[in-house]
Amino acid sequence: MGSFKASLILEILGRPPAHIVEALQSLVTRIGAEKGVKVLEKTIHEPRAVEGSKDLFTTFAEVTIEMESLENYFGIVFAYMPAHIELITPERIVLNNFELNELANKILARMHDYDAITKKNINERDFVLDKLREAAPHVFKALTTPPQAQQTQQVQKKPTKQKVKSKASSKKKRR
């Protein structure tokens, strides 16, 4: 098959442990089903509890794949975002201008897609916040005030104790 071989590490976090193993196996299967990609080896490690969490688990898979092209390599990088990827073979890659430009334009297209998704999410968030400001200003303020400012406001709102003057202290001041 291909002329490119790579090793990758895929990580997953979630619960319960059986579910994250199943999700990771499904992910490796999807990678192997990509056109021009073949899974040569895979090792899925047992889930471990996340330190400091009661019910979150993490696991990872070490996967060796063979690909037909450099385009497949970058397709895996962008589509599956492995925690780590290492190109094993070939040791040296020679590209002509056309191939490099084609690859760069595919990367740019993907980056523009991500940028558009990010901008859409920001606009949707702003729209929801505007509606929340109109419908429930107190909730809006609570959600948009930074935690440090909320603590400062709470400290400032605490009532101060007024000193009660005793008759003895009043007499001393009069003298």
C-beta of residue 103 within 8 angstroms of C-beta of residue 74: yes
Q: What is the 3-state secondary structure (H, E, C) of 83-141?
A: CEEEEEECCCCCCCHHHHHHHHHHHHHHHHHHHHHHHHHHHHHHHHHHHHHHHCHHHHH
Q: Is domain 4-93 classified as CATH 3.30.460.10?
A: no
| Per-position pLDDT tens, the chain of length 175 | 558 999 999 999 999 999 999 999 999 999 999 999 999 999 999 999 999 988 999 999 999 999 999 889 999 998 999 999 999 999 998 889 998 998 899 889 989 999 999 999 999 999 999 999 999 999 888 888 887 766 665 555 555 555 555 555 555 555 5
DSSP letter at 156?
H
Domain boundaries, the chain: 4-93, 95-146
What distance in Å separates the CA atoms of residue 131 and residue 140, rounded to the nearest whole number?
Answer: 9
Nearest to 45 by CA among 59, 27, 58: 59
